[in-house]
């Protein structure tokens, strides 16, 4: 069926907004890779102007009346059709935007800018008290934001919705309580075991060869270099400027010679998702991941379930041994794999392994929830953090930099973001289980360096839909059930570490 006049106009507006978003993503990519430091201030003006232009387009009176007309028209369409879904999605985003007053957006942006500076100072002094009044201010702004919307079952649900539509505090409580208990037991058992020898990882692994290895692996994964590229940055990330340009970055870490590889596999997982979205969704809001958690499930599936598996190294270990002569001649594949999977509890989230990572998220979720519920004061946060680290991972936090000040998320006013990381872990194992049930040959192909069967399964069941469906709908399509289930992830950890 041909698009109606209104649908055509809607797609024009969305296309123009997508172009502006792509332009600002390109400026942001440049800022984090090659921009000379002196142009920081002018770059932030450019980004702010583009953001404002998008905001104007997406909250315009024209779009509002167009959406009202289309709401009436789409009644005739299949509720699963792209057009029906598009109107619903844009309508939800429009509502959220217009309910947020411009005065709040301005005050919040100013508060974030001040908090960011204070966060830097607090880190330099390792003193949370410097940052606390700013966090208090951001928390009050979040509570005000929550008041703009219809009350949800839990006020935190309104914050979650921005990252994961339909996700709720109730679901997270259930899931995280199970992880706390069962994953906690696995962690205690794994950490008590004797550590394998990993001294050969301390030898010299030239950076240029580390990077060459990442390119070889990405190529085999199916990363499309014709519509992407890889550069270096302080923190590895993936970004896209539409569906035909999906870029990744990596970094080489001294003393950790396979960090560049694992971060590249991780970002490669994000990138394959974006590159696998059906091209008919280009320049629409569907040219994106289903949610932060589904996006993270893709990176973690490739990084942990593929990249840290014996099958993966059955293919790559001989090549790696050849690439770094003198380093691994006397090391067996089993010893090498064990060294890459040494369980370790770190106070720092970004350094945490697949075994302990979720505990870092559970701590942040509990604290955010207590703050939002008013059950805890910001001034009590650092002590509560340290007590939580002790309880969950047995770690004594030595100072606020390796404790409550370690993440930038709260300084950016991002509450409700953290859970998506843990959900990504849980979902990665659910998808992996489902893929292997339908395609039992996947591990054997991986052992031969062939990732096509896995990649194509993900493309068919997850990637191609882009943001047309939400987390629960993707899960239902791929696994047969919309429910989050910690079982597969816990089984994977048990098998590997116990
Ligand atoms: Zn990621």
Contact 492, 305 (CB under 8 A): yes
Residue in the block written with tokens 């040494």: 342
What integer pLDDT is reported at residue 218 of this predicted model?
A: 98
Does the annotation count 274 as an active-site position? no
What is the share, in percent, of the chain residues with pLDDT greater than 70? 100
Is residue 117 within 8 A of residue 134, CB to CB? The reply is no
> Tokens 């870092």 label which residue?
360
pTM over 0.85: yes
φ, ψ for residue 240 (rounded to 5)? -140, 145
Task: Confirm if 19 and 283 have CB atoms less than 8 A apart.
Answer: yes
Q: What does 425-490 look like in DSSP terms, one character per residue?
A: HHHHHHHHHHHHHH-TTHHHHHHTT--HHHHHHHHHHTGGGTTSS-HHHHHHHHHS--S--SHHHH
Residue-wise pLDDT for 7-65, tens only, equals: 999 999 999 999 999 999 999 999 999 999 999 889 989 998 999 999 999 999 999 99
> In this structure, which residues have their CB less than 5 angstroms from ion ligand 1?
299
Tell how far the Cα of 70 is from the centroid of ligand 1, in angstroms: 36
Task: Tell me the pLDDT tens digit for each residue of 306-332.
Answer: 999 999 999 999 999 999 999 999 999
pLDDT tens readout for residues 406-449: 999 999 999 999 999 999 999 999 999 999 999 999 999 999 99
| Active-site pick, 41, 144, 165, 267 | 267
Whole-number Å distance, alpha carbon 76 to ligand 1 midpoint, is 39
pLDDT at 3: 86
Which residue ranges form the domains of the chain, and what is each CATH number? 5-148 (no CATH), 169-497 (1.10.1370.30)
Residue 453 and residue 439: Cα distance in Å, rounded? 8
| CA 260 to ligand 1 center in whole angstroms | 14
Q: How far is the CA of 358 from the centre of ligand 1 (A)?
A: 14
CA of 269 to the centre of ligand 1 (A): 8
Report CA 178 to chain centroid distance, whole Å. 22
- What is residue 100's three-state secondary structure? coil
Give dist(CA 213, CA 319) in Å, integer.
9
pLDDT of residue 489 exceeding 80: yes
Q: Residue 447 in contact with residue 323, Cβ under 8 Å?
A: no
Task: Indicate the DSSP class of residue 227.
Answer: G
How remote is the CA of residue 472 from the centroid of ligand 1, in Å? 19
């Amino acid at each position: 069926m041909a698009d109606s006049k209104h649908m055509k106009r809607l797609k024009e507006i969305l296309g123009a907004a997508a172009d502006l978003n792509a332009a600002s993503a390109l400026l942001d990519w440049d800022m984090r890779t090659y921009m000379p430091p002196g142009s920081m201030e002018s770059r932030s003006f450019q980004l702010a102007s583009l953001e404002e232009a998008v905001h104007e387009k997406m909250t315009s009176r024209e779009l509002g009346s167009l959406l009202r007309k289309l709401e009436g028209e789409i009644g005739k369409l299949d509720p699963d059709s792209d057009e029906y879904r598009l109107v619903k999605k844009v309508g939800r985003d429009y509502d959220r935007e217009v309910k947020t007053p411009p005065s709040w957006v301005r005050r919040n942006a100013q508060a974030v800018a001040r908090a960011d500076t204070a966060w830097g100072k607090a880190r330099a002094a390792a003193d949370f008290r410097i940052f606390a009044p700013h966090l208090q201010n951001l928390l009050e702004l979040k509570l005000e934001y929550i008041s703009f919307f219809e009350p949800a079952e839990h006020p935190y649900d309104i914050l979650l919705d921005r990252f994961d539509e339909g996700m709720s505090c109730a679901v997270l409580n259930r899931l995280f309580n199970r992880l706390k208990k069962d994953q906690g037991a696995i962690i205690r058992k794994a950490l008590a075991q004797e550590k394998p020898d990993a001294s050969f990882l301390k030898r010299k692994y030239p950076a240029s060869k580390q990077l060459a290895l990442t390119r070889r692996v990405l190529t085999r994964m199916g990363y499309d270099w014709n519509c992407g590229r890889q550069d270096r940055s302080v923190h590895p990330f993936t970004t896209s400027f539409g569906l035909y340009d999906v870029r990744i970055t990596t970094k080489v870490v001294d003393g950790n010679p396979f960090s560049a590889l694992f971060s590249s596999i991780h970002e490669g997982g994000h990138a394959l998702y974006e590159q696998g979205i059906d091209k008919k969704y280009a320049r629409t809001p569907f040219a994106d991941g289903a949610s932060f958690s589904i996006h993270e499930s893709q990176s973690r599936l490739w990084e942990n379930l593929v990249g840290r598996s014996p099958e993966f190294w059955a293919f790559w270990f001989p090549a790696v041994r050849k690439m770094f002569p003198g380093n691994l001649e006397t090391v067996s594949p089993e010893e090498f794999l064990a060294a890459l999977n040494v369980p370790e509890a770190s106070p720092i989230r970004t350094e945490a392994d697949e075994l302990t990572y979720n505990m870092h998220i559970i701590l942040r979720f509990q604290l955010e929830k207590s703050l939002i519920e008013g059950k805890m004061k910001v001034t009590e946060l650092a002590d509560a953090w340290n007590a939580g680290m002790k309880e969950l991972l047995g770690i004594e936090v030595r100072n606020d930099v390796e404790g409550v000040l370690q993440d930038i998320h709260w300084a950016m006013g991002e509450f409700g973001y953290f859970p998506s990381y843990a959900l990504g872990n849980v979902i990665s194992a659910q998808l992996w289980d489902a893929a292997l049930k339908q395609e039992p040959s996947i591990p054997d192909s991986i052992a031969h360096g062939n990732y096509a069967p896995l990649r194509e399964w993900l493309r068919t069941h997850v990637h191609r839909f882009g943001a047309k469906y939400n987390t629960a709908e993707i899960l239902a399509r791929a696994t047969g059930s919309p429910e989050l289930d910690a079982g597969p992830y816990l089984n994977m950890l048990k098998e590997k570490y116990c």
